Amino acid sequence: MAFLCKVLFVVAVLYSVGVVGHEDDRSAMFALKRELVLSSWAASSAANDSNYCSWAGVLCTPNTSLVESLDLSHHQLGGNVTSISMLKGLKMLDLSYNNLQGPIPPSFGNLTQLQVLDLSFNKFSSSIPPAFAALTKLTSLNLSSNSLSDRIPDELHTLKELEYLQLSGNNLVGSIPSWVAKLTNLKVFTAYENGLSGRIPENLGSFSQLEVLNLHSNQLEGSIPDSIFHFGKLEILVLTLNKLNGNVPAAVGNCIGLSSLRLGNNRLIGNVPSSIGNISSLTYFEADYNHLSGEIVKDFARCANLTLLNLAFNGFTGVIPAELGELMNLQELILCGNSLYGDIPTSLLKSKNLSKLDLSNNRLNGTIPKEVCGAPRLQFLILGQNSLRGEIPHEIGNCVKLLELQMGSNYLTGTIPSEISQIKNLQVALNLSFNHLRGPFPVELGKLDKLVSLDVSNNQLSGNIPSGLRGMMSLIEVNFSHNLFTGQVPIFSPFQKSPTSSFVGNKELCGEPLRVACANSLASNRGAYHHKVSYRIILAVIGSGLTVFIVVTVVVVLFMMRERQEKAAEAKDVIEEEKNALQPVIIASNVFVENLRQEIDFEVAVKATMKDANKLTTGTFSTIYKAVMPSGLASHDCLLSPIGFVIYEDVALLLHHYFPNGTLAQLIHDSVISKAEYEPDWPRRYSIAVGVAEGLSFLHHVAIVHLDISTVNIFLDSAFKPLIGEIEISKLLDPSKGTASISAVAGSFGYIPPEYAYTMQVTAPGNVYSYGVVLLEILTSRLPVEEAFGEGIDLVKWVHCAPTREKDRSKYLMRG
């Protein structure tokens, strides 16, 4: 209270002195400041009290001192801002990202000079003031992300200058008023995530060159009017999650600049018009969950930039057009839940950028081609619930990037290829259930230490369930039911913790959880696999590989590379590789840093990657090798930008300076192993934590999400400054969704946010979760996943349980 009085006193004194300014605006500005006295905005301008034109966010017209522009965004303002309506000369008012509540002051309608009004990201409630009808000069009105209710007022038909009208994320109801269709300057209209109903106005777009129309998540019905394609200027059209019916208008082909077309979750009928092929800039096409039918038009193949094509859960029939394989940029092809038949086109399986292929729940009745792994970036291969015949080809082992393999409910025969064990990244699921597979379950699959879900139920598999499966350290869900397995159910989890339904239907399987005693339980247990595939040991091995004089590190971007070790498995490839080792054929190379040109020997760099001994670390996406340059180039401490690249065959190498202090993982964990009484260097750890946060914050600021935040990807320069690695493969955020543009890789085990399992989307908040794990790691010196934590407990859960453990301990001590 005392503080408040002092401020008022100062204000009063200055006011009476009467410095320069416009009387009305001065009193309005001082009234505003009094009202917002406790805010960061009022504090930021305290140093220069008298001249309101110099306050933060204020811009005045030169000689008149009339406030022309007021930007108070991002100040957590929560007070009464009504006095702003006295600033009669105001042309621009931005109050976005505050905590303003209650109705929007109707007196803002007095700001008749306003051209830009941004009240978005507040908590304004009640209806949009009809008094806004007086703001006839308004070109941009942004009321999105508030709690505004009621109908969009008809009175606002006077706002004829509007170019940008943003009303999304409110509780608006009723229909979109017809005046919106008559705005001749309208470029951007968004009203998604409201309760709007009725039809999209018939003439919307007839009079204006609409560029963005986003109305998703409403209750809109009727058909998509042709008018919105009239001028052909549309770039983004999002109508997802409404009740729209009728056809996709052929006029859509006029909009050759359209990049994003999302029509999913409506009631659209008919086929996609072949004019879709005229939209050369089309990047996203989503029309899942509609009633579309007919054959998939091959005209999609003309959309050379197409990155995502999602036609899931419609009534499409016929064969998958082989022409889709021409789409060099295609990353996701989702055609599940239709009535497609025939083969999986091999052309598709060679698509260089394809990362997700979901053809499940169709009537595909061909075989799985040997070329199944021709797409080097394939992460999701979803072929379940079809009528696929024949054997699973051994070449499946070449799908080294695969995270999920679904082949359940088909007519597959033969054995489970042991080559599946080469898919080291397999993580989400391996599902071969409901087929006609026979023979033993390959013990090699025990190497899949990231796999979470394994379902081989309903086949004719026989023999023991191998105890070597203990190596599958991430497994949570197993299903071996309805096969011909014999012997004892392995005595480790998750087998022991599974419900009986995971093992029923095998006549000669015994032990828990089946409650069938085994005759000779020792026999089946003998082969127990001595595992200790602890991360700590892996890290220790990496650590010992670090010596002092290596100079350049070479990052092999696995995207473009068939994994070396996997290749080596096949003898003829070994020979080929040795040939390469002698003479790598360099296709292209460059050094960006002028004064380093002389120092870099590309052949040495390429050859270094061919020896496993040179391997420093392996991330999810890349492997890092050391390469000693013949010139003996000295160390340096910059990393974020590579110093050069080499491309040979299908491998791309990025050259970085060497990181003399290794990774954060090594700093935290190796020292703990080597010293019994380890004292962490807290100031250093603190500055590393801050540095990583700054790096991550920068990435998010430029709308990039990192795909794999972990201490293994944080490198330390000679001054222990942290540098975030693997940025090369970070993904751009999709502005309309706030998630990585395409469902992407999970990241490293233990760092993955729990919701990832459901959303399969890497998000900026998900990155922050991973960063939180890094912080816990820095604080506790524990690994994100340790066996010592116990079954199914990761570092996060372990820290959560700390209070309980402490209580238990003190109870124990008291008793003792």
Catalytic residue numbers read 708
Site for ligand NAG in 752-791 (CB under 6 A): none
Site for ligand NAG in 523-552 (CB under 6 A): none
Segment interacting with ligand NAG, rule: CB under 6 A, options 200-208, 474-482, 515-523, 526-534: 474-482
**Residue in 198, 167, 153, 203 with CA at minimum distance from that of residue 183:** 203
Segment interacting with ligand NAG, rule: CB under 6 A, options 80-88, 593-601, 619-627, 679-687: 80-88
Residue 581: beta bridge partners?
Answer: none
Query: What DSSP letter does each residue of 348-409 carry, written as one string?
Result: GGG-TT--EEE--SSEE-SB--GGGG-STT--EEE--SS--BSBPPGGGGG-TT-SEEE--S
CB of 105 to ligand NAG, least distance (A): 7
Decide if residue 248 touches ligand NAG (CB under 6 A): no
Decide if residue 404 touches ligand NAG (CB under 6 A): no
CB of 556 to ligand NAG, least distance (A): 18
Q: Is 801 helix (H, G, I), strand (E, B) or coil?
A: coil
Segment interacting with ligand NAG, rule: CB under 6 A, options 43-51, 396-404, 680-688, 735-743: 43-51
Decide if residue 275 touches ligand NAG (CB under 6 A): yes
Segment interacting with ligand NAG, rule: CB under 6 A, options 276-284, 290-298, 391-399, 685-693: 276-284
CB of 682 to ligand NAG, least distance (A): 38
Which are the contacts of 759, defined by CB distance < 8 A and separation ≥ 6? 739
- Give burial (CB, 10 Å; 0-12/13-18/19+) of 802: exposed
CB of 453 to ligand NAG, least distance (A): 5
Q: Residues 280-299: x/- map of binding to ligand NAG (CB under 6 A)?
A: xx------------------
Segment interacting with ligand NAG, rule: CB under 6 A, options 8-16, 146-154, 494-502, 693-701: 494-502
Q: Is 178 helix (H, G, I), strand (E, B) or coil?
A: helix
Decide if residue 113 touches ligand NAG (CB under 6 A): no
Site for ligand NAG in 307-346 (CB under 6 A): 328-329, 341-342
CB of 363 to ligand NAG, least distance (A): 6
Rule CB under 6 A: choose which of 39, 65, 69, 83 binds ligand NAG.
83
**Judged by CB under 6 A, how many residues of this single chain contact ligand NAG?**
58
Segment interacting with ligand NAG, rule: CB under 6 A, options 412-420, 478-486, 546-554, 611-619: 478-486
Contact (Cβ atoms closer than 8 angstroms) between residue 261 and residue 252? yes
Decide if residue 98 touches ligand NAG (CB under 6 A): no
Q: What is the DSSP letter of 666?
A: I
CB of 144 to ligand NAG, least distance (A): 7
Decide if residue 130 touches ligand NAG (CB under 6 A): no
Decide if residue 433 touches ligand NAG (CB under 6 A): yes
**Residue in 305, 249, 237, 307 with CA at minimum distance from that of residue 274:** 249
Rule CB under 6 A: choose which of 179, 434, 535, 751 binds ligand NAG.
434
Which are the contacts of 676, defined by CB distance < 8 A and separation ≥ 6? none
Rule CB under 6 A: choose which of 205, 225, 249, 253 binds ligand NAG.
253
Rule CB under 6 A: choose which of 98, 265, 453, 483 binds ligand NAG.
453
Decide if residue 458 touches ligand NAG (CB under 6 A): yes
| Nearest CB to ligand NAG, comparing residues 62 and 803 | 62
Rule CB under 6 A: choose which of 409, 459, 488, 710 binds ligand NAG.
409
Contact (Cβ atoms closer than 8 angstroms) between residue 85 and residue 79? no
Contact (Cβ atoms closer than 8 angstroms) between residue 184 and residue 206? no
Segment interacting with ligand NAG, rule: CB under 6 A, options 391-399, 449-457, 516-524, 741-749: 449-457
Decide if residue 464 touches ligand NAG (CB under 6 A): no
Convert 120-130 to b/e letters by CB count within 10 Å (16 or more is b).
bbbebeeebbe
Dihedral sign for Cα 43, 44, 45, 46, please: positive
Convert 348-371 to b/e letters by CB count within 10 Å (16 or more is b).
bbebebbbbbbbbbbebebbbbeb
Number of H helices, E strands in the chain: 15, 46
CB of 595 to ligand NAG, least distance (A): 29
CB of 52 to ligand NAG, least distance (A): 10
Tokens of 704: 């990039």
Dihedral sign for Cα 564, 566, 571, 573, please: negative
Decide if residue 803 touches ligand NAG (CB under 6 A): no
Q: Quote the crossing angle between the two packed helices 682-701 and 764-780, to the nearest 10°.
A: 170
Segment interacting with ligand NAG, rule: CB under 6 A, options 493-501, 568-576, 767-775, 776-784: 493-501
**Residue in 172, 181, 217 with CA at minimum distance from that of residue 200:** 181
Q: How far apart are CA 812 and CA 765, in angstroms?
A: 39
Q: How far apart are CA 219 and CA 242, in angstroms?
A: 5
Decide if residue 379 touches ligand NAG (CB under 6 A): no
Query: What DSSP letter does each residue of 419-438 carry, written as one string?
Result: GGGG-TT--SEEE--SS--E
Q: How far apart are CA 269 and CA 243, in angstroms?
A: 12
Rule CB under 6 A: choose which of 39, 208, 214, 502 binds ligand NAG.
502
| Nearest CB to ligand NAG, comparing residues 353 and 661 | 353
Rule CB under 6 A: choose which of 14, 133, 250, 269 binds ligand NAG.
250
Decide if residue 102 touches ligand NAG (CB under 6 A): yes
Segment interacting with ligand NAG, rule: CB under 6 A, options 118-126, 486-494, 702-710, 729-737: 118-126
Rule CB under 6 A: choose which of 115, 209, 305, 418 binds ligand NAG.
305
Rule CB under 6 A: choose which of 89, 337, 384, 466 binds ligand NAG.
384
Q: Is 717 helix (H, G, I), strand (E, B) or coil?
A: coil
CB of 281 to ligand NAG, least distance (A): 3
Which are the contacts of 814, defined by CB distance < 8 A and separation ≥ 6? none
Helices (H), 529-570: 535-544, 564-568
Q: Residues 575-604: x/- map of binding to ligand NAG (CB under 6 A)?
A: ------------------------------
Q: Are strands 332-334 and 308-310 parallel, antiparallel or unpaired?
A: parallel
Q: How far apart are CA 363 and CA 317, in angstroms?
A: 9
Decide if residue 425 touches ligand NAG (CB under 6 A): no
| Nearest CB to ligand NAG, comparing residues 310 and 710 | 310
Q: How far apart are CA 431 and CA 454, in angstroms?
A: 6
Q: How far apart are CA 79 and CA 28, in angstroms?
A: 14
Site for ligand NAG in 162-201 (CB under 6 A): 164, 166, 188
Which CA distances in Å does 800 have to 411, 554, 700, 797, 804? Answer: 46, 39, 27, 5, 9
CB of 190 to ligand NAG, least distance (A): 8
Tokens of 190: 């968004």
Decide if residue 376 touches ligand NAG (CB under 6 A): no
Which CA distances in Å does 703 have to 236, 330, 452, 732, 740? Answer: 19, 22, 30, 6, 9
Rule CB under 6 A: choose which of 184, 501, 520, 590 binds ligand NAG.
501
CB of 85 to ligand NAG, least distance (A): 6
What residue ranges bind ligand NAG (CB under 6 A)?
47-48, 51, 54, 62-63, 80, 82-83, 85, 96, 102, 106-107, 109-110, 118, 120-121, 131, 140, 142, 164, 166, 188, 250, 253, 275, 278, 280-281, 305, 328-329, 341-342, 352-353, 365, 384-385, 408-409, 431, 433-434, 453, 455, 457-458, 477, 479, 481-482, 498-499, 501-502
